[in-house]
Structure 1
């Protein structure tokens, strides 16, 4: 029985460290909201109408999340006529693997945050 208690405690400690130390999907939501806050041109109001905190960001137009962790894997905003300075927080999308932003008017740099 003592082994089961120790195993349970070690497992709980591991989960606590994982939850506290690893970024979560609120980091992704924050990065996306920072991005939309910089939008100066959205001629078709696509993001203005769809990117809302009333729904999960995984359901927003142009966003694809991974099934396991519900983290942003793809950001596809091509041909939307958007204009903005890219928010530095976009670099916090640590699960991002695909970025398609062609035929818009974006400026700035995307710097990945490798310190985590």
Structure 2
């Protein structure tokens, strides 16, 4: 397995972990989040043109209910994370602080509690 394949596999595993933490998906947005579809074609996922890694995750207004797993800290090329207007709950994992490229984050209108990771 090449390094690029390994990295995209990490991104895929990370997003499948997020999917497993979603208990309700009223709009069936995650139906194509499977190993039979390239993650760059998954609903809400945008990959970078050069590195073909997950650069943006936008599930805003899509209605899922669930929690955010610590695995999300593995999306090392993520620059944007938008989850606003959904029913996510619980605490935000400290592992989000690993996302050093992240420059856009929008979690408003969910049910998170606790403090934001630094």
Structure 1 partner of 2:49: 67
Q: In structure 2, what is the equivalent of residue 39 of structure 1?
A: 22
Q: How does 1:1-116 map to 2 (within 5 A)?
A: 19=3, 24-47=7-30, 49-107=31-89, 108-110=91-93, 111-112=95-96, 113=98
Whose strand proportion is higher, 1 or 2?
2
TM-score for the superposition, normalised by structure 2: 0.72
Q: Which has the higher contact order (CA 8 A, sep 6+)?
A: 1
**Which structure would you say has the larger Rg?**
1
CA distance in 2, matches of 1:90, 1:19: 20
TM-score by length of 1: 0.74
Structure with the higher fraction of residues in helix conformation: 1
How far, CA to CA, are the matches of 1:29 and 1:52 in structure 2? 9
Count of residue pairs brought into register by the alignment: 94
| Deviation for aligned residue 1:71 | 0.4
- Separation in structure 2 between the aligned mates of residue 74 and residue 44 of structure 1, nearest angstrom: 20
Distance (whole Å) between structure 1 residues aligned to residue 34 and residue 3 of structure 2: 25
- 2:110 maps to what in 1? none
Alpha-carbon distance in 1 for matches of 2:61, 2:13: 24
